[in-house]
């Protein structure tokens, strides 16, 4: 029987696989590489995370984003220079080729519990038995559309994850609902593409990351606001560097922190593309919505109680992602019913194990247990190291490390 089946091939799945491979842990990994990034984020966007915090992790740090950029002749800085989505995607695909050549680009159709492990059925009918299953599924399993919009036809209302291309909206009126990075990035790109776009949000103001000056920080600034993989500040530093400690906080506090910490904000680089260029309706909730005469009519109510109606040809809900185990339909109903959850997210042990023995969740699904860092690529390092330690203990005998295949990159 296989030791581990890894489901998902984004930054978390690839990082775990690279660690398992290096330590000789038998595994198979399934999924389309970088699928959420390649197919569900708009062309032209840039990452909020700094260059040093945008790595995919192999155990010896042999293939960082910096090394990839050097090999390809792409400008790179640890901070102060936004990472382009296209660069990150190319890096992820190169990481897969170099560090995880075993990746099988097959979709998992079902996971069933067996007497001594799991049976994983793949598209095409093949079944794999594994002692452990690691779920590294991406955010697009958990798209959230507000209830008042969810019932409208997709012709008129879609989630932001549906829009890799913005060009089809040229000349059309579009409402973008939300105030986070997805909403602001998409609104800026839609405006540049010639769409008549407007942002609608219940937030009374838009927030953006501070624009780095490029000047060296003083010792006092560093002490007051230390840097981290999630941005400056002691709180962000704790989230980024101590997910193991976050896990031991009371559950009620963890849930509140994950819900409120690192709230909606855009990268500093998107501010100039939105402020003063994209019309804003801030401080409004959606009371209702309907399709009327080929447009979507939104019924809004402001925080002071006043009402307003607006119409658009299309509405994009850039309203984020809400983890809910029930949305993972490839897991059997029996497994889903046995996973203990809190607000829809799996309750995990200190080794990322769920209440179903040998079933592990990493990435965004583990944020309520290990903190906001699990919503970012930066958290993949801790998850990969912790899982590797756990799986090594399940092996009856130590295994020899597997050498990393050398794959030359082609300069572009």
110-124, 129-143, 201-215, 369-383: segment of lowest average pLDDT: 201-215
What confidence category does residue 297 fall into, taking pLDDT thresholds of 50, 70 and 90? Answer: very high
Give the domain CATH number at 177: 3.50.50.60
Verify that 112 and 163 share a domain, yes or no: no
In a domain, 22, yes or no: yes
Verify that 95 and 176 share a domain, yes or no: no
Verify that 326 and 340 share a domain, yes or no: yes
Verify that 192 and 269 share a domain, yes or no: yes
Average pLDDT, the chain: 92
What pLDDT is stored for residue 215 in this prediction?
Answer: 65
% residues pLDDT > 90 (the chain)? 83
Query: What pLDDT digit, counting tens, does each position of 114-163 carry?
Result: 998 999 999 999 999 999 999 999 898 999 999 999 989 999 999 999 99
Give the mean pLDDT of 184-204.
96
Verify that 55 and 204 share a domain, yes or no: no
What pLDDT is stored for residue 242 in this prediction?
Answer: 95
What pLDDT is stored for residue 401 in this prediction?
Answer: 46
Please report, for residues 21, 65, 341, 409, the alpha-carbon distance to residue 400 in angstroms, rounded to integers and kept in the order given. 10, 28, 37, 27
In a domain, 258, yes or no: no
Tell which residue, 84, 48, 49, 59, has the closest CA to residue 69. Answer: 84
In a domain, 133, yes or no: yes
Verify that 33 and 161 share a domain, yes or no: no
What confidence category does residue 395 fall into, taking pLDDT thresholds of 50, 70 and 90? Answer: confident
Verify that 360 and 345 share a domain, yes or no: yes
List the domain range (segments joined by +) for residue 357. 2-142+321-394
Q: H/E/C letters for each residue in 204-231?
A: CCCCECCCCCCCCCCHHHHHHCCCCCCC
* For the ranges 212-216, 264-268, 302-306, 370-374, the one whose mean pLDDT is highest: 370-374
Verify that 152 and 101 share a domain, yes or no: no
Tell which residue, 175, 203, 10, 187, has the closest CA to residue 103. Answer: 10
Give the mean pLDDT of 99-105.
97
Please report, for residues 60, 63, 71, the alpha-carbon distance to residue 403 in angstroms, rounded to integers and kept in the order given. 11, 14, 21
Verify that 192 and 336 share a domain, yes or no: no
Helix, strand, or coil here: 173?
strand
Residue that finishes a domain, picked among 317, 339, 360: 317
Verify that 272 and 349 share a domain, yes or no: no
Tell which residue, 329, 325, 350, has the closest CA to residue 338. Answer: 325
Evaluate if residue 259 carries a pLDDT over 60: yes
> Total domain count for the chain?
2
In a domain, 237, yes or no: no
Listing from the earlier edge strand, what are the strands of the sheet with 196-201?
A: 157-159, 314-317, 173-177, 196-201, 280-282
In a domain, 220, yes or no: no
Question: Using CA atoms, how far apart are residues 28 and 3, in angstroms rounded to an integer?
Answer: 9
Model pTM score = 0.92
% residues pLDDT > 70 (the chain)? 93
What pLDDT is stored for residue 217 in this prediction?
Answer: 66
What confidence category does residue 238 fall into, taking pLDDT thresholds of 50, 70 and 90? Answer: very high
In a domain, 218, yes or no: no
What confidence category does residue 216 fall into, taking pLDDT thresholds of 50, 70 and 90? Answer: low
Evaluate if residue 393 carries a pLDDT over 90: no
Give the mean pLDDT of 39-66.
95
Verify that 185 and 104 share a domain, yes or no: no
Verify that 182 and 298 share a domain, yes or no: yes
Asked whether 143 and 40 are in contact (CB, 8 A), the reply is no
In a domain, 404, yes or no: no
What pLDDT is stored for residue 399 in this prediction?
Answer: 42
In a domain, 287, yes or no: yes
In the DSSP assignment, the letter for residue 322 is: -
């Amino acid at each position: 029987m296989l030791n581990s089946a890894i489901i998902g091939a984004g930054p978390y799945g690839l990082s775990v696989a690279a660690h398992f491979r290096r330590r000789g842990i038998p595994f198979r990994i399934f999924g389309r590489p970088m699928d959420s990034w390649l197919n569900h984020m708009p062309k032209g966007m840039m990452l909020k995370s700094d260059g040093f915090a945008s790595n995919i992790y192999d155990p010896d740090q042999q293939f960082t984003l910096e090394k990839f950029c050097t090999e390809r002749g792409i400008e790179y800085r640890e901070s102060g220079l936004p990472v382009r989505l296209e660069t990150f995607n190319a890096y992820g695909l190169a990481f897969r080729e170099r560090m995880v050549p075993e990746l099988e680009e097959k979709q998992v159709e079902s996971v069933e519990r067996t007497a001594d492990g799991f049976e994983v059925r793949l598209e095409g009918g093949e079944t794999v038995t594994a002692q452990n299953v690691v779920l590294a599924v991406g955010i697009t399993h958990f798209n959230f559309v507000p209830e008042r919009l969810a019932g409208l036809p997709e012709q008129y209302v879609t989630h932001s994850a549906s829009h890799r291309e913005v060009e089809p909206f040229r000349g059309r009126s579009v409402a973008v609902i939300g105030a986070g990075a997805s909403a602001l990035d998409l609104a800026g790109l839609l405006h540049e593409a010639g769409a008549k776009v407007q942002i609608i949000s219940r937030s009374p103001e838009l927030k953006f990351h501070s624009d780095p000056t490029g000047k060296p920080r003083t010792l006092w600034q560093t002490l007051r606001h230390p840097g981290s993989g999630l941005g400056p500040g002691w709180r962000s530093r704790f989230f980024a560097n101590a997910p193991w400690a976050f896990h031991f906080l009371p559950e009620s506090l963890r849930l509140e922190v994950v819900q409120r910490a690192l709230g909606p904000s855009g990268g500093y680089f998107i501010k100039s593309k939105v402020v003063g260029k994209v019309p804003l309706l801030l401080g409004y909730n959606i009371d209702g919505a309907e399709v009327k005469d080929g447009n979507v009519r939104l019924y809004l109510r402001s925080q002071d109680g006043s009402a307003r109606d607006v119409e658009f040809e299309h509405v994009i809900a850039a309203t984020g992602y809400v983890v809910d185990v029930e949305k993972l339909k490839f897991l059997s109903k029996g497994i889903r019913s046995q996973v203990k959850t809190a607000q829809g997210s799996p309750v995990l042990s200190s080794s990322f194990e769920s209440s179903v023995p040998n079933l592990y969740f990493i990435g965004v699904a583990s944020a309520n247990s290990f903190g906001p860092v699990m919503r970012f690529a930066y958290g993949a390092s801790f998850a990969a190291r912790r899982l590797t330690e756990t799986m090594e203990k399940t092996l009856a005998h130590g295994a020899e490390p597997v050498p990393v295949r050398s794959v030359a990159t082609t300069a572009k």
